[in-house]
């Protein structure tokens, strides 16, 4: 519905120039009704000019600050310019487009204010690069429509609002760090640092000094004070990945940080306050490690205040097409290609693949296919050889074995591997007696392993 | 009885569902309005906003801008959405009740 009569910009020369600039430009009258809309503005918003002239700018631009800090309203009210304000608009296809916007008033030849002008620049590519460099991921970067992931989404705001420790449990490649970053970026600590530490990458002898820092003279090579990761994470979040790799001696010190909210750097006589939220992650079952005496139970209960269990890709197969499309878009951008999809056959293979390496493995497969593919569609020959071989093997198996038996053998093997061939843990998960498990292992030739 | 949720700003449909603070909850029965309630919700983030809307369990949402993330979530929760609608609230509600709600397809 046209709300006002549009006042078209009559200067055709000016229009020609404005239609050839890369930035979106539009003008409004004193009532915020659009009077001019250039080609770049059409491209960025996805709205044709003829549909927006005469409409209110907030109904067309749909920026996140239209209702609270409208730049052009500010300019019209104060006469001051707004320069490069960062915000996002909503395109007609429901995609958020990050932009910078500038606004100023427009005066006629006599100096009377007749409206305002806004220019805006699409920052999508810049923001995508920034996201990769600074890893500023939010829940919107988690690609899923799976109900298990949706259940996690429903509790993320509550988890983020609290300052409690979070334990994320999930197999390798399930996106533990992505969820940790999403929690941080939803929390009140989002403006503070997010420090990620892979505990398994640090040698036992260094882990304490890396986490808690040291003071000059603490040991022979300590020529100056060095802050630890906990100090670097002050006011933010520390993400301790593969927490199960922390040696028992460091576990005691970590327990103190969680209990007392303070620690002492190596060689220091004074304590340092730890204003840090701890998110830890493990692919192992920490409870099992506690039972085996490899992990302190008191530390486990401190870390396990809120637990998030991430499903494997096998448990969220319905997300595979979405994830494939996401990685196609990502690698088109990275490799300057224009691949549109995978063939139906490739989709079937990927939907049935076991994905031991989860989402990371799927991404690697798509990246491999991108290197090999020179057309618009990813075909079987573009997939890594091991995927094609697995498929061939499966076809052979289907011809020679009874599917139900194969399925049972596969389930037992998978569960055994998950529990590092611990038959007690495996029998508990499979809800069968240990002796039954042993008989089945014997039947399927799994005993020699 | 059906519940219609509409994000509002200054008596107009709010330009974006994920950025609004004010909602009108309209109970409709046999094409006539039975009750209107104004709800204010200051969400700390968009996920909290989404969860708030889902907790209301509306049958239909009439809104202007909506992210594809929200659209998917509502679809999964069997909430029908009439998006990209703008104009005065009263006029939009009237058009909805009389089946004349024009969804502008740009």
| Domain-embedded: residue A390 | no
Q: Which of B45, B67, B69 sits opposite A157 (nearest CB)?
A: B45
Chain A residue at shortest CA distance from B55:
A154
Q: What is the CATH number of the domain that holds A32?
A: 3.30.450.20
Contact B19 A186 (CB under 8 A): no
Q: What is the pLDDT of residues A88-125, one digit of tens each?
A: 999 988 889 999 999 999 998 888 999 999 999 999 88
Q: What is the CATH number of the domain that holds A192?
A: 3.40.50.300
Q: Is residue B104 part of a domain?
A: no
Q: What is the pLDDT of residue B105?
A: 40
A20-44: average pLDDT? 94
Same domain, A245 and A300: yes
Q: Which residue has the higher pLDDT, A392 or A78?
A: A78
Mean pLDDT across the stretch B75-85? 90
Task: Return the percent helix, strand and coil in chain B, to nearest 5.
Answer: 30, 35, 35
Searching chain B, which residue's CA lies closest to the CA of residue A66? B15
In this structure, the answer to whether residues A42 and A65 fall within a common structural domain is yes
Q: Is the pLDDT of residue B86 over 50?
A: yes
Q: If pLDDT is split at 50, 70 and 90, which confidence band does A403 have?
A: low
Residue B21, domain CATH:
3.30.420.130
Instruction: Please name the residue of chain A whose CA is at the shortest distance from the CA of residue B22.
Output: A67
Number of domains in chain B: 1
B52 touching A (Cβ < 8 Å): no
pLDDT above 60 (res A7): no
Q: How far is B55 from chain A (nearest CA, A)?
A: 11
Residue A151: its pLDDT value, please? 87
Residue A6 within a domain: no
CATH number at residue A320: 1.10.8.60
- Which residues lie closer than 8 Å to A204 by C-beta, 6 or more apart? A247, A250
Q: Which chain A residues contact residue B44 at CB under 8 A?
A: 157, 161, 186
Residue B22 lies in a domain: yes
ipTM for the complex?
0.88
In a domain, B50, yes or no: yes
Section B78-90 average pLDDT: 92
Inter-chain CB proximity B106 and A61 less than 8 Å: no
The model's pTM: 0.68
A65 Cα to chain B: minimum distance (Å): 8
Residue A109 Cα distances to A75, A77, A106, A117, A235, angstroms: 19, 20, 10, 16, 54
**Cα–Cα distance for residue pair B41/B22, rounded to 1 Å:** 6
Q: Measured between alpha carbons, how far is A271 from A249 in angstroms, rounded to an integer?
A: 18
Q: Mutating which of A62, A150, A326 best tests the B interface, going by the most B Cβ atoms within 10 A? A: A62
Predicted pLDDT at B53: 93
pLDDT tens-digit map of A310-346: 999 999 999 999 999 989 988 998 888 999 999 999 9
For residue A5, what pLDDT band results from cuts at 50, 70 and 90? very low
| A61, A64, A153 ranked by CB distance to B47: nearest | A153
Q: Is residue B19 part of a domain?
A: yes
**CB contact A301 to B (< 8 Å):** no
Is B102 within a domain? no
Residues 186 to 225 of A: which have CB under 8 A from any B CB? 186
Which of residues A286, A309, A332 is at a domain's end?
A309
Looking at residue A428, what is its pLDDT?
Answer: 83
Q: Do B47 and A186 touch (CB under 8 A)?
A: yes
Instruction: Using a CB–CB cutoff of 8 Å, tell me whether B67 touches chain A.
Output: yes
- The parent domain of residue A39 ranges over 11-123
According to DSSP, residue A447 is labeled T
- Count up the domains in chain A and report the number: 4
Q: Are residues A173 and A187 in the same domain?
A: yes
| Integer angstrom CA distances of residue A103 from A30, A71, A85, A386, B86 | 13, 6, 9, 56, 24
Is B64 touching A (CB cutoff 8 A)?
yes
Q: Does the distance separating the beta carbons of B65 and A62 come in below 8 Å? A: yes
A344 near B CB under 8 A: no
Look at residue A168 in the predicted model and tell me its pLDDT.
96
Residue B51 lies in domain? 2-97
What count of other Cβ atoms lies within 10 Å of the Cβ of residue A309? 12
Asked if residue A407 has pLDDT above 80, the reply is: no
């Amino acid at each position: 519905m046209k709300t006002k009569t549009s006042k078209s910009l009559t200067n055709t020369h000016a229009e020609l120039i404005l239609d050839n600039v890369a930035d979106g430009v539009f003008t409004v009258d004193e009532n915020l009704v659009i009077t001019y809309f250039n080609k770049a503005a059409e491209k960025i918003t996805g709205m044709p000019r003829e549909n927006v002239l005469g409409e209110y700018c907030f109904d067309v631009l749909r920026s996140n600050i239209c209702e609270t800090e409208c730049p052009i309203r500010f300019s019209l009210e104060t006469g001051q310019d707004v320069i490069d304000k960062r915000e996002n608009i909503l395109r007609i296809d429901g995609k958020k487009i990050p932009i910078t916007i500038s606004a100023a008033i427009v005066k006629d030849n006599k100096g009377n204010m007749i409206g305002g002008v806004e220019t805006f620049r699409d920052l999508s590519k810049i923001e995508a690069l920034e996201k990769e460099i600074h890893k500023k991921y939010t829940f919107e970067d988690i690609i899923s429509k799976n109900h298990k992931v949706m259940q996690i989404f429903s509790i993320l705001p509550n988890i983020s609002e609290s300052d409690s420790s979070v334990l994320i449990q999930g197999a390798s490649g399930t996106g533990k760090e992505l969820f940790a970053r999403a929690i941080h970026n939803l929390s009140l600590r989002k403006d503070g640092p997010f420090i990620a530490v892979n505990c398994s990458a640090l040698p036992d002898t260094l882990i304490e000094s890396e986490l808690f820092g040291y003071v000059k003279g603490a040991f022979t090579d300590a020529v100056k004070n060095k802050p630890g990761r906990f100090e670097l994470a002050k006011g933010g979040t520390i993400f301790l990945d593969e927490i199960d790799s922390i040696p028992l001696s460091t576990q005691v010190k970590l327990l103190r940080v969680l209990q007392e909210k303070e620690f002492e750097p190596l060689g220091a006589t004074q304590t340092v306050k730890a204003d840090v939220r701890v998110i830890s992650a493990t692919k192992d079952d920490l409870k099992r490690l506690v039972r085996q005496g490899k992990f302190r139970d008191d530390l486990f209960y401190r870390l396990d205040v809120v637990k998030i269990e991430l499903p494997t890709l096998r448990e969220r197969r319905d997300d595979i097409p979405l994830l494939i499309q996401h990685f196609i878009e990502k690698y088109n951008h990275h490799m300057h290609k224009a691949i549109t999809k995978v063939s139906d056959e490739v989709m079937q293979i990927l939907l049935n693949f076991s994905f031991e390496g989860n989402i990371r493995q799927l991404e690697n497969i798509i990246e491999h296919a991108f290197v090999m593919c020179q057309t618009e569609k990813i075909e079987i020959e573009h997939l890594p050889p091991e995927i094609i071989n697995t498929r061939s093997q499966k076809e052979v198996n289907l011809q020679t074995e009874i599917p139900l038996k194969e399925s049972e053998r596969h389930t037992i093997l998978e569960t055994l591997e998950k529990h590092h061939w611990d038959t007690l843990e495996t029998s508990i998960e499979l809800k069968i007696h240990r002796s039954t498990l042993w008989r089945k292992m014997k039947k399927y030739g799994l005993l020699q392993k | 009885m059906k519940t219609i949720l509409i994000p509002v700003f200054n008596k107009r449909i709010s330009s974006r569902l994920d950025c609004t603070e004010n909602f009108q909850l309209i109970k409709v029965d046999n094409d006539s309005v039975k009750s209107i309630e104004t709800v204010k919700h200051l969400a700390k983030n968009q996920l909290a906003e989404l969860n708030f809307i889902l907790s209301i369990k509306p049958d239909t949402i009439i809104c202007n801008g909506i992210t594809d993330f929200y659209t998917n979530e509502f679809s999964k929760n069997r909430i029908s959405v009439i998006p990209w609608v703008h104009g005065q609230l009263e006029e939009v509600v009237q058009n909805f009740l009389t089946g004349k709600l024009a969804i502008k397809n740009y």
